[in-house]
Chains A and B, each alone.
Chain A
Amino acid sequence: AIWMTQSPSLLSASTGDRVTISCRMSQGISSYLAWYQQKPGKAPELLIYAASTLQSGVPSRFSGSGSGTDFTLTISCLQSEDFATYYCQQYYSFPRTFGGGTKVEIK
């Protein structure tokens, strides 16, 4: 299985901040990476796929980058509705695996 190390696990930030979340793979996965947002009591929602392609309807303040083993999710100007937990997920191979999550909390 491909292991994913997501960091930080907790990120304290203020509205308007630029935040960056990292996801590192145990082996190269090309660009077969997705990012999800999960709010308490809700299912995850797809934000980005193919490492950098924004899902339809997702605000442009979200962006993704990277390929191979190192990936980044950036929120350019944090909004109140962005306080949530974010997960990366690889779909390069089975079993599908997720990062441990990054909780973005209000500072």
Chain B
Amino acid sequence: QVQLQESGPGLVKPSQTLSLTCTVSGGSISSGGYYWSWIRQHPGKGLEWIGYIYYSGSTYYNPSLKSRVTISVDTSKNQFSLKLSSVTAADTAVYYCARERLAGNWYFDLWGRGTLVTVSS
């Protein structure tokens, strides 16, 4: 079955760029039919959608983060990645990659386990 796994540094210094990768196993990103998304959760708080990428490379970002976010895809490695620039302590959160199903009803049907990223000097 398809699984998602986030990876990347757990500690990032303020003003630097947060970089995470989500590896998709058990299925192909290139098969289509899904948006590949990033979602974050501040400690003890709710969920915030960051953006998505389609296997073709088309993207859509949350306007609240758009100026700092880049999501890319590497179909040869079956991975997609998140870059968030100029981070501050407010970007400390658990970051999830998730799959959004595109078939009449669009919802997040598969999530990674999440990875905690702390922004601190």
Contact = CB atoms under 8 A, between A and B. Distances in A.
A43 B96 contact: yes
A98 B46 contact: yes
A97 B112 CA distance: 19
A97 B105 contact: no
A49 interface: yes
Contacts of B60: 94-95
B109 A95 contact: no
A77 B113 CA distance: 28
Interface in B4-54: 37, 46-49
Contact of B46 (A32, A42, A43, A100): A100
Contacts of B37: 96
Contacts of A98: 46-49
Contacts of B63: 1, 95
Given A1-B63, A43-B96, A43-B113, A97 B49 contact: yes
